[in-house]
Amino acid sequence: MIRRAARLAPPPAYKPEQVAKAVELIEFGGLVPLRANRVFLAVSEDGTEVYRTAATGQCNCPAGLRARYLCYHGAAAQLLAFATAA
């Protein structure tokens, strides 16, 4: 479902590399729902940090704090929320 969502409706503000990392994050179980498909906990790439991210794309990781809609955690949250809603 996630790969289909990434193919049919990729989050528009993200680069293809970020969407690929988002799909990988979901496949490895690094995105855990915290609040009813709206807020998620996302594990960092090296596994040492946990970030809070929302289906709207906001994230409290370093990249997410610098600029909105730029981290792959936000893309993963958007993909997961879209795939489970469809």
Model pLDDT, residue 78: 87
Model pLDDT, residue 49: 94
Judge if pTM exceeds 0.75. yes
| 16-61 pLDDT tens trace | 888 889 889 988 999 998 987 789 999 998 999 999 999 888 899 9
Q: Give the residue from 72, 83, 77, 73 showing the smallest Cα distance to 17.
A: 72
Distance (Å, whole) CA 59 – CA 29? 18
Checking if the pLDDT of 66 tops 90, the result is no
Distance (Å, whole) CA 66 – CA 83? 27
Model pLDDT, residue 11: 66
| Assigned token pair, 69 | 């809609």
Identify the residue with better confidence: 57 or 1.
57
Domain boundary assignment for the chain: 2-85
